[in-house]
């Protein structure tokens, strides 16, 4: 007679980790404190003001934040590092902006924080109240480790700064990242739009004009500009467009535009709208019909108009066209008409990218700007095509 032994069911492992958040010390009353949180609490409480996130305090009309997106592919490596040896006890403090602006509010926030009442903090102070200025990747890696290994825990140190404005927060982020690690120039300049908001100088005016070109609904560039400098299929970065806009909106021209009672941002938007219409096939990146083996076929082609070399050269030409339109116009209505007349001549440009195309057989980027600009200038002002010889005294 055989005996069957009963096998007890497996008992699920019990997660015995401590989950907590606590303010450890006040360094400057009402301004600076130090706290620790476990990864789960930090993840649940924290907010990151990224470019694709709606930030209620953002000064941008689109309410986006100022940081680039976290690179999730970095999290596993960070997790493995802090899981080794005693590294979980060597975590550099994250920098947090606590968006609470009065003494009563700070007292209430600290009380809820020490009780671990994250839901109440979000309800009373908003989802963005605990904003990570520096350390988003550390948080991501530590939380990755928390989820992956049941025996992993860490008490993450954070420095809390109370009551910073959005501009101060963005400026601190900019200072930390530009001094410690080189950020894409596009993201630096986008951030400065907010940091220097309200300042009246040429550099800030150019940033604001470029931001309008990149984001406003009445701009043909909307949705076509890489705002962070990260890898993208978009044709141009914010920094490329900003530098190109600087070539068009030089300080003297800006003063002349303002002196006529015109809005410089509006002039830039209308100019590019005229360019997009004059060069419609290239702007829309339309395929071309070509003959292959006796048959006509539709074929995708690449254009250079919206590449940096095209944008920079057309912008530089824009300085000439705007200046000429101001010179020749008796009033603002005439100004727009004259500008349109000159820009319309760009319809004769072949923007197809090809070594055999004299219009586009030039260096990429700003390196090719001068050569392409000279061809565009000759077309618009001399009615001259590439290869035509125009006597100097007729220019």
Q: What is the pLDDT of residues 256-306, one digit of tens each?
A: 999 999 999 999 999 999 999 999 999 999 887 766 676 777 788 899 999
Q: Collapsing DSSP states into helix, strand and coil, what is residue 236?
A: strand
How many angstroms separate the CA atoms of 30 and 48, rounded? 23
DSSP 203-228: HHHHHHHHHHHHH-TT-TTTT-EESS
Report the pLDDT averaged over residues 99-112. 96
Mean pLDDT over 179-193 rounds to 57
User: Which SS3 state, helix, strand or coil, does residue 291 take?
Assistant: strand
Report the SS3 class of residue 98: strand
Count of alpha carbons within 13 angstroms of residue 17, beta-carbon side = 19
> Looking at per-residue confidence, does 10 or 46 come out higher?
46
Of residues 75, 64, 68, the one with CA closest to residue 177: 68
Q: Per-residue confidence at 388, pLDDT binned at 50, 70, 90?
A: low
Phi/psi region, residue 30 (left: phi>0; alpha: psi -120 to 50; beta: rest), is left
Q: Which residue has the higher pLDDT, 193 or 266?
A: 266
pLDDT category of residue 336 using cuts at 50, 70 and 90 = very high
Per-residue pLDDT tens for 196-235? 555 678 888 898 899 899 989 999 999 999 887 777 889 8
Per-residue pLDDT at 8 exceeds 60:
no
CB of 316 closer than 8 Å to CB of 249: no
**pLDDT for the residue numbered 78:** 93
| Partners of residue 303 on adjacent β-strands | 352
Whether 219 and 213 have beta carbons less than 8 Å apart is answered as yes
pTM above 0.75, yes or no: no
- The per-residue pLDDT for 53 is 85
Residue 393 has pLDDT above 50, yes or no: no
Lowest mean pLDDT among 20-34, 53-67, 184-198: 184-198
| pLDDT value for 389 | 44
| Between residues 123 and 229, the one the model is more confident about | 123
Residues with Cβ within 8 Å of residue 233, at least 6 apart in sequence: none
pLDDT tens for each residue of 74-98:
999 999 999 999 999 999 999 999 9
Task: Quote the CA–CA distance of 351 and 311 in Å, as a whole number.
Answer: 12
Q: Residue 1's pLDDT is what?
A: 46
On average, the pLDDT of the chain sits at 87
């Amino acid at each position: 007679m055989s005996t069957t032994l009963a096998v007890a069911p497996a008992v699920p492992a019990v997660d015995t980790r401590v989950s907590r958040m606590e303010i450890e010390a006040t360094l400057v009353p009402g301004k600076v404190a130090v706290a620790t949180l476990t990864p789960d609490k930090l993840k649940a409480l924290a907010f990151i003001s990224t470019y694709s996130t709606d930030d209620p305090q953002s000064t941008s009309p689109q309410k986006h934040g100022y940081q680039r997106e976290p690179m999730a592919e970095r999290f596993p490596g960070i997790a493995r590092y802090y899981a080794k040896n005693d590294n979980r006890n060597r975590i550099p403090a994250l920098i947090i902006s606590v968006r609470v602006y009065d003494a009563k509010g700070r007292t209430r926030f600290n009380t809820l924080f020490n009780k671990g009442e994250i839901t109440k903090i979000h309800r009373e102070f908003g989802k963005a109240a605990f904003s990570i200025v520096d350390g988003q990747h550390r948080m991501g890696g530590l939380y990755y480790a928390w989820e992956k290994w049941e025996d992993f825990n860490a008490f993450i140190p954070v420095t809390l700064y109370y009551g910073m404005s959005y501009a101060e927060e963005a400026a601190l982020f900019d200072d930390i990242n530009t001094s410690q690690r080189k950020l894409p120039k596009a993201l630096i300049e986008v951030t400065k739009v907010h940091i220097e908001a309200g300042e009246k100088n040429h550099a800030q005016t150019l940033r604001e004009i470029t931001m309008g070109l990149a984001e406003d609904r009445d701009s043909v560039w909307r949705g076509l500009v890489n705002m962070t400098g990260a890898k993208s299929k978009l044709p141009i970065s914010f920094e490329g467009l900003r530098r190109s806009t600087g070539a068009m909106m030089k300080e003297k021209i800006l003063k002349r535009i303002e002196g006529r009672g015109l809005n410089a941002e509006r002039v830039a938007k209308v100019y590019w709208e005229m360019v997009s219409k004059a060069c419609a096939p290239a702007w829309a990146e339309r395929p071309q019909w070509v003959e292959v083996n006796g048959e006509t076929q539709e074929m995708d082609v690449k254009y250079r108009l919206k590449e940096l070399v095209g944008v920079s050269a057309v912008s530089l030409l824009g300085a000439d066209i705007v200046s000429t339109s101001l010179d020749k116009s008796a009033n603002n209505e005439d100004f727009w008409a004259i500008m349109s007349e000159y820009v319309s001549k760009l319809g004769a440009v072949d923007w197809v990218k090809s070594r055999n195309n004299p219009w586009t057989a030039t260096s990429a980027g700003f390196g090719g700007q001068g050569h392409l600009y000279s061809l565009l200038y000759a077309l618009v002002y001399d009615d001259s095509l590439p290869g035509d010889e125009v006597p100097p005294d007729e220019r």
